[in-house]
Amino acid sequence: MSRLLVLATLIAIALSPRLPAQGGANSSTTQEVANLSRTYLAWRQAVMNQNAREWERLTAAHRRMEVRNRLVSEKRPFPAAVFDLPAPPPKLEGLRAIHFSKKGPTAKVAYFGKIDFGIGGEPTENLLVLSFVNERGGWKYDKADFVNLMALPDVRKELANNDLRYVRETPECQASGQVPRPALPVREAPYIAKVYVFCPGREVEVTVNRVSRHRFANAKEAEVVIGGARDGANQVEYRIKKLEGGSGDEALAIRVYLMSQIEGTKPIKAFEYQVVEGGSVAPSGRGQFTVDAAIAAQLGASGQ
């Protein structure tokens, strides 16, 4: 671990002379970036070693609870499933710290370079934004946002030439100053459920059973319902608004699927609000779906 921390410090110090911090680069900024790099690399080592105690110590409280609630809502073991990842967290070697932002108890560091997730192939130059939260006087790792610049070749060229307008002007690269309050813990889901939304040109907010809250913007995505579905009636509420640049005529779909634990059984579409292209979209609405004995049998799990 000591060798790892020394390496993290060397990486941050080596990269920081060109770091355009708020108000200009200085020794204080250099040290802060070094500290955040150490935090991330120690967190990464905990993940690689599957060290649950260190992972918990180094992860922001609200993020720990978010991960815990999502895993138990998928009926996966916590904390063991924390380390069941499709790819390891990326290293920082070879990356250049190009932007540092701190506001209140939050901070972000943006790195540019060939980000390697260790899954083979030749990494390309992209952007990695690491977020941190200060808790009880110490920095904790929050999350990483990977920005694939394949669709933004001009931005990739700008960053390679140290033109940093993109990271300076992009809100996602700036510390917010706000730390989410940790959610309440949920029990293991009676039934696994997912919210699916197709909403080109729109923003959609969906709440299931007043517990699981989801936001989608110009997306085609699915997210796990926190707390899952339950026996009997389940409530669904949604809000919809048009985004700038949208025509207002795009098709829309909001669905809730129930996921069977019986191998080979397809998901059950339990709820749907759908509008064809050119149709009229309600700004908000609510509905419900019911999990009865017949559906429970298809899901292969008993409720609680």
Write out pLDDT tens, residues 216-264: 999 999 999 999 999 999 999 999 999 999 999 999 999 999 999 999 9
> What integer pLDDT is reported at residue 33 of this predicted model?
95
**Which one of 4-8, 22-26, 105-109 scores highest in mean pLDDT?**
105-109
User: Would you place residue 119 in the very low, low, confident or very high pLDDT band (cuts 50, 70, 90)?
Assistant: confident
Please indicate, yes or no, if residue 49 is contained in any of the structural domains.
Answer: yes
Please indicate, yes or no, if residue 180 is contained in any of the structural domains.
Answer: no
Sheet bearing 202-208, strands edge to edge: 212-217, 202-208, 232-242, 284-291
pLDDT at position 14 over 50: no
Give the total number of structural domains in the chain: 2
Same domain, 215 and 266: yes
Same domain, 197 and 169: no
More confident residue, 28 or 234: 234
User: Would you place residue 6 in the very low, low, confident or very high pLDDT band (cuts 50, 70, 90)?
Assistant: very low
User: For 34-57, what is each residue's pLDDT tens digit?
Assistant: 999 999 999 999 999 999 999 999
Same domain, 136 and 208: no
Indicate the residue among 173, 205, 237 that finishes a domain: 173
pLDDT at position 1 over 90: no
User: For 135-192, what is each residue's pLDDT tens digit?
Assistant: 999 999 999 999 999 999 999 999 999 999 999 999 999 999 999 999 999 999 999 9
Please indicate, yes or no, if residue 179 is contained in any of the structural domains.
Answer: no
Percent of the chain with pLDDT over 70: 90
Same domain, 214 and 111: no
Same domain, 16 and 135: yes
Mean pLDDT value across residues 202-218: 97
For the record, the structure tokens of 252 come out as 């829309």
User: Would you place residue 60 in the very low, low, confident or very high pLDDT band (cuts 50, 70, 90)?
Assistant: very high
pLDDT at position 13 over 60: no
Indicate the residue among 124, 145, 173 that finishes a domain: 173
pLDDT at position 5 over 80: no
Please indicate, yes or no, if residue 185 is contained in any of the structural domains.
Answer: no
> What integer pLDDT is reported at residue 19 of this predicted model?
55
User: Would you place residue 26 in the very low, low, confident or very high pLDDT band (cuts 50, 70, 90)?
Assistant: low
Same domain, 167 and 197: no
Same domain, 60 and 126: yes
Please indicate, yes or no, if residue 281 is contained in any of the structural domains.
Answer: yes
Mean pLDDT value across residues 65-69: 98
Same domain, 203 and 120: no
Please indicate, yes or no, if residue 304 is contained in any of the structural domains.
Answer: no
Residue indicated by tokens 């922001």: 60
Cis status of the peptide bond prior to 190, with omega within 30 of 0: no
Same domain, 142 and 16: yes
Mean of per-residue pLDDT scores for the chain: 91
Query: What's the CATH code of the domain at 104?
Result: 3.10.450
Percent of the chain with pLDDT over 90: 87
> What integer pLDDT is reported at residue 4 of this predicted model?
33
Indicate the pTM of the whole model: 0.85
Same domain, 97 and 219: no
> What integer pLDDT is reported at residue 121 of this predicted model?
84
For the record, the structure tokens of 133 come out as 């939260």
Question: Of 6-15, 55-64, 127-136, which range is least confident?
Answer: 6-15
Mean pLDDT value across residues 101-127: 94
Please indicate, yes or no, if residue 135 is contained in any of the structural domains.
Answer: yes
pLDDT at position 22 over 70: no
- CB-based contact 227:192 (threshold 8 Å): no
User: Residue 36 belongs to what domain range?
Assistant: 2-173
Please indicate, yes or no, if residue 61 is contained in any of the structural domains.
Answer: yes
Same domain, 294 and 246: yes
Buried b or exposed e, range 105-140, using 16+ CB within 10 angstroms: bbbbbbbbbebbeeeeeeeebbbbbbbbbeeeeebb
CA-to-CA distance for 301 and 269, rounded, in angstroms?
17
> What integer pLDDT is reported at residue 17 of this predicted model?
33
Indicate the residue among 118, 143, 173 that finishes a domain: 173
Same domain, 23 and 142: yes
